[in-house]
Amino acid sequence: MNILKIWVSFILLTQLTLLPNETFADSKQDYLIELSRFGIRNDGTRPVETTKGINDALKWASKNGKTKTSLPSGTYLIDKNSRINMVSNMIFELPSDAVLRKETNDKERYQIIYIGYGVKNATLKGGNYEGDKDKHNYSKKDNRHSSGTHEGGHGILVEGAVNVTIDGVKATQFTGDGLVLGGHNTLAKDLYEGSFISGAIDDKGKNISNSKKIRTKEPLNFSNAIFKSEREFELTNAIKLPRTFDIFFYKSNGSFIKKLANVKVRDILQIPDGAALFHLVFEQSTKKGAYIEFWNRAVSKNVVVQNSEFSFNRRQGITVGGADNVLITNNSLHDMKGTMPQSGIDLEGGFGENGNRNSNITIKSNKFYKNASYDVILYDGRDAIVEDNHLASKGAIGLAISDPFKGALIKNNHFDGSRIIAAHDATFIGNRMNDSFTTLEGPNIKIDGMVFTDSMFNVSSKVPFGISVSNVTIHNNKKSDSGLSIWGKPIHIKNLTIIGEPKLRSVTGGVAEGSIFDNLKVIGFNNTYGLSLPPGTYNNCEFQGAEGGKIGSIGAVLAGKYVFDKCSFKASPTGSVNLVGAHPGLDLTIKNSTFEVLGNTQAISIESAKNVLFENNTITANKLTSEKTEIIKLNDYWKRDEKHDILNAVIRGNTITSNIAAIGISTVYAGVGAPPYTIENNTLYKAKLALKKNDIVKNNVLK
């Protein structure tokens, strides 16, 4: 993602917002619209005359060199069959007690004000834009082909305009959205089976025979009027054609300019200088059923939306449905409810469904609350920054990043009771969350510097190491099922600290083996439910249970390989077992680690395993009260007459210190037919050995 480009755009947009005050300081350029002159009423009556009058006034002001227009206070009823059409190079400013109210209607689509293609340098400032949501007639359809959903009633619609500022407005009570930023789309030509013939084109632009390819029969051209001002195009909606093709550009006299190879459907292409014509070549032998479309899509560009309120709309506050270089900052977006998505902001141009692309969008320092389903949706497009926002719609999704979106930077936001759902290609830096949970899938997701409070950090990577996590802190206050939950494919976690008791387990999951945990700290975990650690390699990790529970332990209870290297285990004074290994497919290695047993507690209990290696560790158990306590125990007294289920074990080079003559290492209950286990080079202070007769016992020292 080109973050530098977005920040440069942000600076330019910020400067753009300052220009009107400088440019329009001359009172000769300001015009307070004369209501009587244009037949406008500000008492909420005569919508047809009022709407026509405002449009006439804007046209007159533009024609006569005015660059700022305004209306007096009052309520202006906007015709249900019409709208206000904004003009270029104009500020349209309303006082705080001016209301533009849409006449009650039964339309599926409507707008109060429209800023269309060809409009440049337009500003809407202040005022109230009010829809008819509560009085609307939802029973009618605009035509027999329309959806009947009545979600197209918008306050402000921008389609393909350039340099637009919306500042200090309030848009509320619309059947659809408060604001929509979209594109102006032009279908230049559609090509059918008859538009193609067998053959190809060589690298010099000459037609050649090739039975394995088809090409356009006649060249396509840029004669459509849209291409006089717009120099981009795309090919889309391919049917029974490959999604990749070659394109050959020519001058109007037929002379060859250049070839572009391996162009993809929906690629946005620049028209080369001097190009008037082009041919397409597809690598397939048949043209039967072939179809493709040639489009221009002029999205809205350089848009600032600031200091505004979008609320109580039926669908959402702001839809970005085809825009480039947009800044949405310092707005309040709340109480969206009625028809999905019910979101504060939705970046959704329908790019995958023949719609518009969104790109370079910044959503900064906004407040979201009481939205029924979402605060922010990044559905499709690329390159967005979501920064310094308060996303507080309790129980809703604070941020959703969907499969079609790529390149999101999510920075310094507060997810206050709202969730995060992210598919892939997103970087999270410095965010915080409380009373909620995440759903992260990957690939290409990075989490760095996040703080959770009473929340579940849920990670489920679709591909190995598709998600990386670093510098995360999770605070639990025994309010909820909070902590770390890992599923899917293995991931890499660095510097993650979990502090305090959740209601259940601080760590759980069923991730495939292979994850790496560096500097994982779990302090004060719930000692009734314990931990269910996923398989993986744990380096320099620390585990400490809270007081109070008796049966909760650190569990290595899944099939796969566990390695604990240079880790620290501190058992709760009230617990019975610190670490339990229990699975027939368990491969457990604990090395170079320390165990501090603070009660009459077993340090390690292995109930079943494929392989166990316990090497070069230090165990200190100075609070034991019973000499029958087994500090390291392989299997259980109650299973001594069953078939063994620990297939191999090596306990080597460890130091075990106890305050009484407890059992330091026990293998005597390993079960019927247990193989010899290796017990060697261990040093035991006060503790003793209780081993099977067939164990390989060498160089152990009892002091």
Query: How far is residue 315's CA from residue 371's CA, in Å, rounded to a whole number?
Result: 10
Integer CA distances (angstroms), 526 to 503, 546, 553, 695, in order: 7, 6, 9, 36
Q: What is the predicted pLDDT for the residue at 572?
A: 81
Q: Which residues contact 25 (CB under 8 A, 6 or more apart)?
A: none
The phi and psi torsions of 101 (rounded to 5 degrees) equal -115, 130
Residue 651's domain comprises 547-703
Query: How far is residue 421's CA from residue 397's CA, in Å, rounded to a whole number?
Result: 7
Query: How far is residue 426's CA from residue 218's CA, in Å, rounded to a whole number?
Result: 44
Q: What is the predicted pLDDT for the residue at 23?
A: 36
Contact 294, 259 (CB under 8 A): no
Asked if pLDDT for residue 577 goes beyond 80, the answer is yes
What stretch of H or E contains 15?
A: helix 3-23
Peptide bond into 242 cis (omega under 30): no
Evaluate whether residue 608 is within a structural domain: yes
Average pLDDT over residues 599-617: 96
DSSP string of 75-144, one letter each residue: EEEEPTT--EE--SSEEEE--TTEEEEEPP---SEEEEEEE-TT-EEEEEES-EEE--TTT---S--SST
- The total domain count for the chain is 2
Residue whose token pair is 């929340």? 455
DSSP string of 566-626, one letter each residue: S-EEEE-TT-SEEEEEE-TTEEEEEES-EEEE-SS-EEEEEEEBSEEEEES-EEEE-----
The residues with which 110 forms a beta bridge, in sequence order, are 153
Q: What is the predicted pLDDT for the residue at 573?
A: 84
Asked if pLDDT for residue 72 goes beyond 90, the answer is yes
Evaluate whether residue 578 is within a structural domain: yes
Q: Which of 264, 289, 314 is the C-terminal boundary of a domain?
A: 289
pLDDT in tens, 469-515: 999 999 999 999 999 999 999 999 999 999 999 999 999 999 999 99
Q: What is the predicted pLDDT for the residue at 221?
A: 98
Evaluate whether residue 567 is within a structural domain: yes
Query: How far is residue 254's CA from residue 258's CA, in Å, rounded to a whole number?
Result: 12
Contact 375, 418 (CB under 8 A): yes
Evaluate whether residue 633 is within a structural domain: yes
Evaluate whether residue 238 is within a structural domain: yes
Contact 556, 589 (CB under 8 A): no
Q: Which of 274, 289, 304 is the C-terminal boundary of a domain?
A: 289
Q: What letter does residue 351 receive in the DSSP assignment?
A: G
User: Over pLDDT 90: what percentage of the chain?
Assistant: 91
Query: How far is residue 384's CA from residue 405's CA, in Å, rounded to a whole number?
Result: 9
What stretch of H or E contains 517?
A: strand 515-518
User: Using 50, 70 and 90 to split pLDDT, how confident is the model at 9?
Assistant: low
User: Token pair of 404, please?
Assistant: 């079609």
Asked if pLDDT for residue 18 goes beyond 50, the answer is no
Contact 666, 648 (CB under 8 A): no
Query: How far is residue 604's CA from residue 624's CA, in Å, rounded to a whole number?
Result: 14
Evaluate whether residue 665 is within a structural domain: yes
User: Token pair of 415, please?
Assistant: 């997810």
Q: Which of 267, 289, 311 is the C-terminal boundary of a domain?
A: 289
Task: Determine the residue type at 216.
Answer: T
User: Token pair of 698, please?
Assistant: 């060498």
User: Token pair of 28, please?
Assistant: 């000769």
Evaluate whether residue 42 is within a structural domain: no
First to last CA, the chain: 63
pLDDT in tens, 508-525: 999 999 999 999 999 999
Residues making up the chain, counted from first to last: 703
Residue whose token pair is 């004669």? 223
| Sign of the CA dihedral running 596, 599, 600, 603 | negative
Query: How far is residue 649's CA from residue 646's CA, in Å, rounded to a whole number?
Result: 7
Q: Which residues contact 48 (CB under 8 A, 6 or more apart)?
A: 79, 81, 82
pLDDT in tens, 250-278: 999 999 999 999 999 999 999 999 999 99
The residues with which 553 forms a beta bridge, in sequence order, are none
Evaluate whether residue 508 is within a structural domain: no
The phi and psi torsions of 242 (rounded to 5 degrees) equal -65, 155
Asked if pLDDT for residue 611 goes beyond 70, the answer is yes
Asked if pLDDT for residue 549 goes beyond 80, the answer is no
Average pLDDT taken over every residue of the chain: 95
